[in-house]
Structure 1
Amino acid sequence: MTATLAPPVRAGKAAVGALGLLALASGALESVVQPTLPLLQRELDMGPTEGALLGILLPITGALVTPLAGRFGDRYGGKRVLVRLMIVVCVGGMVSALAPGLPVLLAGQVLQGAMVGALPLSFIVVRKHLSAGQSKVAIGVVSGLFVGGGMLGTLLAGPVAEQLSRHWMFALPTIAVVVATLLVNGLVPADSADRSDDAGVDWPGLVLLSGVVITLMLVLNLAPDLASQPLLLCGLVVLLAALVAGWIAVERRAASPMIDLRLLARPMVWKSSVLTFTICVGTSMAIFLVTQLWSASGAGYGFGAGATEIGLFLVPSTVVATLAGPLGGTWERRSGSRSVATAGVVIMAVALIAMAVAHSEAWYLVVGKALVALANGLVVTAMTTGVATSVAATETGVATSLILVTRVLGMASGGMLGGVLLAAGTPAGSDVAAESAYTIGFVIAGVVTALALFVTRTMYKGVKA
């Protein structure tokens, strides 16, 4: 297929601004659960494990929807699929806002998970309607605003939930998503389909990937009970291995695979995916552990902070994350992916280990969380921009969906692992995890993050990567 050198219609600043606003609003809606988990646990009578489950349902759905969104965007046009996808997200946001209890709230989170698929669809649009240099800037801005929106939602969710109600913390960002979707529909030019294949949906691959993700979460959830349920845990591990093997076999034979393994095998793509996963595991564990520690009231540790205070503690992280996105994209264009990734991994690993050692003052955690946000913004934005601009325009949706899938899986795994560690470290008859559980959690997150240095040292130096 011959690539078109110049798109027939150029996207103006207003169109890019609409996509950025949609990313900002979607990021805010995605992030409101994590900082308010203590409040939701109290109001809905949830334990740490149930709280972690609530926090990971949305990213799990995102991991399943995003590859399909990227594939459909490449096939039928990014804008067309984007608008329809956001209608589902808006419905999910309203379901969460009106939810009377945990079951309905879980259903709303599942529907909201479709929002993660908006990013590869936005990247498809900008690559079709902007030049190569302009598309790099636009992709960096959209990615950065999504991360910044996440920090904004984290910041405002607590005060809104406490001053109004938990219902409004879902309703307000949902209204913003509705407005942004209308602007995208009106301002963004339509893009034509790049592929005319009629291979259909890779349903076997989708079902097997769903089994992989759900089984992985069960394995993490049952890990603390290894001594009492070893056969069950071993059975789940065997099932997970079988599902992964079956999924790989199906994807290799599929005419139109949900996740193109040949694309994933490219060095730039798989290395970026590994780095994104590890950095997001560290980020998610840090978010969960820090917010729980701020709200905890243990003997000699914890600060008993409410949702509003936690939101104020996260102000520096919000500012840093918003700036880190564009900075990561610019740094990657000038110095290459290796320097950005190495710096981000080192910053995050040091911050996590530092919080394991020193967490007796609230401001220690404020600084540590800000450094984690900086590292996450640098690495994820640089990896996404690098991959999006290193493949053909007709592969933009599929390629970036791989990075986003690893991002949501990393966030899901980190959040669940944090919940499991605190649940395992909670003494019998107590509702507060022991201080050692937080220390161990920060150390594990730091070690997992540092392991990514084995990948960064194999990347090309300079902009060639």
Structure 2
Amino acid sequence: MVATLEPQAKIGKAAIGALGALALALGTLQAVVEPSLPMLQHDLGIGPAAGSLIFITLLITGAVVAPIAGKLGDRYGGKRVLVVLMTAVSAGGLLSSVAPNLPVLLLGQVLQGAMVGALPLSFILVRKHLPPGRTQVAVGVVSGLFTGGGLVGMLSAGPIAEHLSRHWMFAIPTIAIIAATLTVARLMPDDPPAESDARIDWLGVILLSCTLVGLVLGFTAVTGGGLPPLASAGVIVVVAALATGWVLVERRAASPMVDLRMLAMPAVWSAGVVTLLMSLGLGMAVYLVPQLLSAPASAYGFGADPSEIGVFLVPATVAGVVAGTVAGIAARRFGPRAVVTAGAAATAAALIALGPLHDATWQLVAARALIGFAVSVSAVALLAGTATAVDAKDTGIATSLLVVTRVIGVAIGAQTAGAILDAGTDPATGLPAESSFTTGFVTAGLIAAASLLAVRAMKKGTQS
């Protein structure tokens, strides 16, 4: 009997360490906005609705980059595409660090959104250059360091902004990204592009980008109340036309960015609806909690500065990390549907409870951690359930649909929360009314609760 030898490793620990350092720096840069968002709004002189744009702009770029990053890496080489994307991220981070106003900061966030492609491209590289056994270890290291970077960003954003300035909050992790990218470019060997006749759906990419940008900017303009009814109707028509054009292009493309035919499968469309509704609730909570923590203690808030907000949000970040492991075990033992049902119910209950119960910081911290854990567990279970419900060849398409849906849901949820606070802001004080937070939390809870109806449809579709 002849033993099968594993392929020889083409890269060493130093190259894996460089990818890990890059993931750590990217996770840090991605996480600095959430705890410092109230401070950014104050420094830039903007309201809640405009402030939510800072949070969601990166997500919009990520929603576009996520489905095509792997395709680009396979077509042109993972290392080459990774370096190009990190150049865009570095430019965005530096632009954000010197931004004097909201438009420049938003442009920086748009460029930073290219970081979403870093993980799939890193996985392509380790898969090509390492034997299977070591590939799994390297993937775990890179993923773990990206998550760890989120903790670093959450805790470091406040102290850096307070003792240096908000500009260094973006500059320091960006400098680390530049250094790590140069190290990866030096240590990582070139990977040959895969031979493929599949073309990149650039028209679909452009139309989806325009649709998402139009949706967000249009939502901001319409809910801000500054547009006459005719102009608001025009915005709706333009966004609808862009979305319709994107759907038509995707249905006819030989190699679509997102294969919309997958949505006809009950297991996929029901999982997509659940993902969208729960992500909407999460996005609203992610935006509302820091705003309430930073509100003056003389009113109804807690007067927390960015450093304190970062500490308050750490349990939620840790809960999201733990959820990944728990979800896999729970889905295997109880089934994806049971896990998603429990997660949706817990998310809805926590959000609705925050409506009347937000008088102490521990209530906000505990609820935000529970929401983060429940949504993350549900997301992993939905991905696992969808991956096993479709043909093996369609796994990547189906799961990428859920990833894009989640990003869009979080973005729209944050924008919705910002609009609710903006509508309830007192012009004299510049503060939203406390009732606006109650309305926001309860609305988010009801949206998350509606996902339970889609879970039932998911069961029926799977059985049929």
- Normalising by structure 1, we get a TM-score of 0.85
**1:296 aligns to what?**
295
Shift of 1:36: 0.8
Contact 2:327 2:377 in 1 (8 A): yes
**1:3 aligns to what?**
none
Contact 2:221 2:227 in 1 (8 A): no
Contact 1:90 1:177 in 2 (8 A): yes
- 1:168-215 C-alpha deviation (Å, 9 max, x unpaired): 21123223434554565567676554551163x433322321221122
Shift of 1:386: 5.7
Shift of 1:367: 0.8
**1:436 aligns to what?**
435
- 1:188-247 C-alpha deviation (Å, 9 max, x unpaired): 676554551163x43332232122112211342244356973333233223322222221
- 1:290/1:91 CA distance change after superposition, 3 Å: same
Asked which structure has the greater CA Rg, the reply is 2
Query: What does 1:30-109 align with in structure 2 at a 5 Å threshold?
Result: 30-109=30-109
SS at match of 1:173: helix
**2:165 aligns to what?**
165
2:125 and 2:455 map into 1 onto residues whose CA distance is 30
1:13 and 1:379 map into 2 onto residues whose CA distance is 36
Shift of 1:59: 1.1
Tell whether 2:202 aligns with 1:196.
Answer: no
Contact 2:158 2:306 in 1 (8 A): yes
Count of residues paired in the alignment: 458
Contact 2:31 2:153 in 1 (8 A): yes
Contact 1:147 1:377 in 2 (8 A): no
Tell whether 2:304 aligns with 1:305.
Answer: yes
1:339 and 1:36 map into 2 onto residues whose CA distance is 36
Letter aligned with residue 99 of structure 1: A
SS at match of 1:450: helix
Q: Which moved more, 1:246-255 or 1:370-379?
A: 370-379
Contact 2:95 2:105 in 1 (8 A): yes
2:359 and 2:305 map into 1 onto residues whose CA distance is 17
1:342 and 1:130 map into 2 onto residues whose CA distance is 39
Contact 1:69 1:117 in 2 (8 A): yes
1:335 and 1:10 map into 2 onto residues whose CA distance is 38
SS at match of 2:358: coil
1:214 and 1:181 map into 2 onto residues whose CA distance is 29
1:341 and 1:129 map into 2 onto residues whose CA distance is 36
- 1:373-414 C-alpha deviation (Å, 9 max, x unpaired): 212332334444666687788767655543332232122111
**2:254 aligns to what?**
255
Contact 1:28 1:154 in 2 (8 A): yes
- 1:402-427 C-alpha deviation (Å, 9 max, x unpaired): 33322321221111111111000112
1:276 and 1:142 map into 2 onto residues whose CA distance is 25
2:291 and 2:112 map into 1 onto residues whose CA distance is 24
Q: Which moved more, 1:23-32 or 1:111-120?
A: 23-32
Query: What does 1:223-372 align with in structure 2 at a 5 Å threshold?
Result: 223-224=222-223, 229-297=228-296, 300-372=299-371
- 1:225/1:165 CA distance change after superposition, 3 Å: closer
- 1:335/1:21 CA distance change after superposition, 3 Å: farther
1:19 and 1:74 map into 2 onto residues whose CA distance is 18
Q: Which moved more, 1:295-304 or 1:260-269?
A: 260-269
Letter aligned with residue 353 of structure 1: I
Query: What does 1:435-454 align with in structure 2 at a 5 Å threshold?
Result: 435-454=434-453
Q: Which moved more, 1:331-340 or 1:80-89?
A: 331-340
Letter aligned with residue 451 of structure 1: A
- 1:73-110 C-alpha deviation (Å, 9 max, x unpaired): 34344444233322221222222223344333222111
- 1:22/1:132 CA distance change after superposition, 3 Å: same
1:133 and 1:275 map into 2 onto residues whose CA distance is 35
Shift of 1:143: 5.6
Letter aligned with residue 243 of structure 1: L
1:97 and 1:349 map into 2 onto residues whose CA distance is 37
- 1:106-138 C-alpha deviation (Å, 9 max, x unpaired): 221111010112233345556667899998887
Tell whether 2:106 aligns with 1:110.
Answer: no
2:137 and 2:302 map into 1 onto residues whose CA distance is 41
Contact 2:214 2:239 in 1 (8 A): yes
Shift of 1:160: 1.8
**1:421 aligns to what?**
420
- 1:166/1:28 CA distance change after superposition, 3 Å: same
- 1:444/1:101 CA distance change after superposition, 3 Å: same
Q: Which moved more, 1:132-141 or 1:344-353?
A: 132-141
1:456 and 1:373 map into 2 onto residues whose CA distance is 19
Contact 2:97 2:170 in 1 (8 A): yes
Q: Which moved more, 1:25-34 or 1:429-438?
A: 25-34
Contact 2:336 2:381 in 1 (8 A): yes
1:294 and 1:180 map into 2 onto residues whose CA distance is 35
2:456 and 2:35 map into 1 onto residues whose CA distance is 35
Letter aligned with residue 356 of structure 2: V
Shift of 1:307: 1.1
2:451 and 2:137 map into 1 onto residues whose CA distance is 26
Shift of 1:21: 5.0
- 1:294/1:36 CA distance change after superposition, 3 Å: same
- Normalising by structure 2, we get a TM-score of 0.85
Letter aligned with residue 339 of structure 2: V
Higher relative contact order (CA 8 A, sep 6+): 1
2:358 and 2:392 map into 1 onto residues whose CA distance is 47
- 1:203/1:99 CA distance change after superposition, 3 Å: same
Q: Percent identity?
A: 53
- 1:132/1:243 CA distance change after superposition, 3 Å: farther
- 1:172/1:271 CA distance change after superposition, 3 Å: farther
SS at match of 1:314: helix
Contact 1:23 1:146 in 2 (8 A): yes
1:139 and 1:271 map into 2 onto residues whose CA distance is 30
- 1:301/1:85 CA distance change after superposition, 3 Å: same
Shift of 1:356: 0.9
Contact 1:22 1:180 in 2 (8 A): yes
- 1:314-364 C-alpha deviation (Å, 9 max, x unpaired): 232232222223333443455443233222222211111111120011111
1:110 and 1:218 map into 2 onto residues whose CA distance is 14
2:270 and 2:130 map into 1 onto residues whose CA distance is 27
Letter aligned with residue 417 of structure 1: T
